[in-house]
Protein backbone atom coordinates (compact mmCIF):
# COMPACT_ATOMS: atom_id res chain seq x y z
CA UNK A 1 0.00 0.00 0.00
CA UNK A 2 1.30 3.43 -0.93
CA UNK A 3 -0.01 6.32 1.13
CA UNK A 4 0.24 10.03 0.37
CA UNK A 5 1.87 11.38 3.55
CA UNK A 6 1.56 15.00 2.39
CA UNK A 7 -2.13 15.16 3.26
CA UNK A 8 -3.13 17.70 5.93
CA UNK A 9 -4.43 15.03 8.31
CA UNK A 10 -1.03 13.27 8.30
CA UNK A 11 1.30 16.10 9.28
CA UNK A 12 3.27 16.36 11.41
CA UNK A 13 4.41 12.73 11.25
CA UNK A 14 5.87 11.70 14.60
CA UNK A 15 5.06 7.99 14.68
CA UNK A 16 4.47 6.24 11.31
CA UNK A 17 2.92 3.14 12.90
CA UNK A 18 0.48 5.23 14.93
CA UNK A 19 -0.42 7.21 11.81
CA UNK A 20 -1.24 4.01 9.93
CA UNK A 21 -3.49 2.86 12.74
CA UNK A 22 -5.22 6.10 13.70
CA UNK A 23 -4.77 8.92 11.18
CA UNK A 24 -4.72 7.46 7.65
CA UNK A 25 -8.05 7.67 5.83
CA UNK A 26 -9.17 5.80 2.72
CA UNK A 27 -8.62 8.93 0.61
CA UNK A 28 -4.94 8.95 1.63
CA UNK A 29 -4.31 5.58 -0.05
CA UNK A 30 -2.88 6.13 -3.52
CA UNK A 31 -1.85 2.65 -4.66
CA UNK A 32 -2.58 -0.89 -3.50
CA UNK A 33 -0.63 -3.93 -4.65
CA UNK A 34 -1.95 -7.45 -3.95
CA UNK A 35 0.04 -10.54 -4.94
CA UNK A 36 2.18 -8.37 -7.20
CA UNK A 37 -0.85 -6.91 -9.04
CA UNK A 38 -1.69 -3.22 -8.84
CA UNK A 39 -5.39 -3.12 -7.98
CA UNK A 40 -5.57 0.60 -7.17
CA UNK A 41 -3.36 3.16 -8.94
CA UNK A 42 -3.55 6.87 -8.10
CA UNK A 43 -6.86 6.23 -6.31
CA UNK A 44 -8.48 4.49 -9.30
CA UNK A 45 -9.39 0.80 -9.42
CA UNK A 46 -7.52 -1.06 -12.14
CA UNK A 47 -9.29 -4.42 -11.77
CA UNK A 48 -12.94 -3.31 -11.90
CA UNK A 49 -15.08 -0.65 -13.53
CA UNK A 50 -16.37 1.61 -10.73
CA UNK A 51 -19.07 3.12 -12.96
CA UNK A 52 -20.41 -0.33 -13.83
CA UNK A 53 -20.43 -1.36 -10.16
CA UNK A 54 -22.40 1.77 -9.25
CA UNK A 55 -24.80 1.29 -12.16
CA UNK A 56 -25.59 -2.28 -11.15
CA UNK A 57 -25.87 -1.38 -7.48
CA UNK A 58 -28.27 1.51 -8.09
CA UNK A 59 -30.26 -0.41 -10.70
CA UNK A 60 -31.50 -2.73 -7.94
CA UNK A 61 -32.07 -0.03 -5.32
CA UNK A 62 -35.66 1.04 -6.19
CA UNK A 63 -36.94 -2.54 -6.19
CA UNK A 64 -35.38 -3.16 -2.79
CA UNK A 65 -36.98 -0.02 -1.35
CA UNK A 66 -40.40 -0.95 -2.77
CA UNK A 67 -40.21 -4.51 -1.43
CA UNK A 68 -39.18 -3.32 2.05
CA UNK A 69 -42.14 -0.93 2.13
CA UNK A 70 -44.52 -3.70 1.11
CA UNK A 71 -43.20 -5.91 3.90
CA UNK A 72 -43.59 -3.13 6.48
CA UNK A 73 -47.23 -2.43 5.63
CA UNK A 74 -49.86 -4.48 7.51
Task: Tell me the β-bridge partners of 38.
Answer: 33
Measure Cα distances from 70 to 57, 66, 73 in Å: 21, 6, 5
**What pLDDT is attached to residue 63?**
63
**What pLDDT is attached to residue 34?**
94
Residue range 2-72, CATH number: 2.30.40.10
42: phi > 0 → left, psi -120 to 50 → alpha, else beta; which? Answer: left
pLDDT category at 66 given cuts 50, 70, 90 is: low
The answer to pTM > 0.75 is: no
pLDDT tens string 4-63? 888 888 888 889 898 888 888 888 889 999 999 999 999 888 988 888 888 887 777 766
Residue ranges covered by each domain of the chain: 2-72
Amino acid sequence: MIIDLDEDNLVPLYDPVSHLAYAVEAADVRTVIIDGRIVLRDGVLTTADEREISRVRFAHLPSRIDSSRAEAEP
